[in-house]
Structure 1
Amino acid sequence: MDIKEIQSLIKFVAKSGASEVKLETDDIKITIRTGSTGGHETTYVQQVPMAPAQMAPAAVPVATDDASSASPAQDGSVDDSKFIIIKSPIIGTFYRKPSPDKPSFVEVGSTIAKGDVLCVIEAMKLFNDIESEVSGKIVKILVDDSSPVEFDQPLFLVDPS
């Protein structure tokens, strides 16, 4: 079972309204529990070691009617429709730096190219480099350093022009 299948399973369980789903195969055991408060907790228990995978985020145009996931730049006069949101491809802990004593991968105003590392997400003790699939300029960083992130959560707002 690969990460895309696991992510699809999490989305399906969240939409279905089931309170708990357990799936066991020869090499992995997954339990997904959803709470009555609307949030969900996902627990992965790995029985056989798996190789770390390099994950690349999906780049999706910003929806202008979704103000909660993409807020405009601080001056409030920016047109969101021309920006691209880079979202988290996995659940984990978001880090802006490769280590505490190193500088951040990117800052607001940084120019990025396709393939540049934007951040690291720690998942199950594995540090996954998140690379850009677009070129442009970082307009806003939507997540604080060392914060937990969900699958498909917006991380960066990028101006592709």
Structure 2
Amino acid sequence: MDIKEIQNLIKFVAKSGASEVKLEMEDVKITIRTGSDKTETTIVQAAPMQQAVPMQQVAAPQNVAPQTEEAPAADDKADANLITIKSPIIGTFYRKPAPEKPNFVEVGSEINVGDTVCVIEAMKLFNEIESELSGKIVKVLVDDSSPVEFDQPLFLVDPS
């Protein structure tokens, strides 16, 4: 709802003689109270906060839950020598170059510097993510076709 629509609504309520009108939509709450010569308008917009919170809630549980489900003692020792490949951009993570093609890497795959490990789609562009280290893929931390954030861990690699 834009300003012109709100102004027209205020004028309409003032002419109608109603003392109070409440209007609630998905992203806007409007209360218009009219008195003798005075019109009071309260506008509450909560849409920006509602949109920001679900994005964080969707992204965080997918990545945090799998890491915390394993035995903590085993993770500490095993993770000490593992290196994480992180997302350099925000976008959608894909493990394969096309739906009918095989995954770039699997758990246990040996990778070298410059090998493509995944693709991240950002703004209709498919960006090949290349490994900056050699080693063996120990764990894939993100599901195929899921959104990823900047600097989000994608793979765990054993460099030895």
Same fold (TM over 0.5): yes
Q: Summarize the Cα distance change of 1:73–1:133 in structure 2 as closer, same or farther, 3 Å threshold.
A: farther
CA distance in 2, matches of 1:140, 1:73: 14
Deviations 1:95-129 (A, max 9, x none): 00000000000000001001000000000000000
Listed as ranges, the gaps of 5+ residues in structure 2 are 1-47, 56-62
| RMSD (Å) for aligned C-alpha atoms | 2.8
Q: Give the match for residue 82 of structure 2.
A: 83
Q: Summarize the Cα distance change of 1:70–1:152 in structure 2 as closer, same or farther, 3 Å threshold.
A: farther
Q: Give the match for residue 67 of structure 2.
A: 71
Q: Give the match for residue 94 of structure 1.
A: 93
- Secondary structure at 2:80's aligned position in 1? helix
CA distance in 2, matches of 1:120, 1:96: 6
Listed as ranges, the gaps of 5+ residues in structure 1 are 1-33, 42-66
- From 22, 30, 49, give the equivalent of 1:35: 49
Rg comparison, structure with higher value: 2
Q: Give the match for residue 142 of structure 1.
A: 141
Report percent identity of matched pairs: 65
TM-score by length of 1: 0.56
1:142 CA drift (Å): 0.3
1:71 CA drift (Å): 2.7
Q: Give the match for residue 129 of structure 2.
A: 130
Aligned partner of 1:98: which letter?
A: P
Q: Summarize the Cα distance change of 1:37–1:119 in structure 2 as closer, same or farther, 3 Å threshold.
A: same
Does structure 2 retain, via aligned residues, the 8 Å contact 1:69–1:154? no
Q: Which has the higher helix share?
A: 2
Q: Give the match for residue 109 of structure 1.
A: 108
The 5-angstrom pairing of residues 5-16 of structure 1 reads none
- Secondary structure at 2:154's aligned position in 1? strand
How many residues are paired up? 103
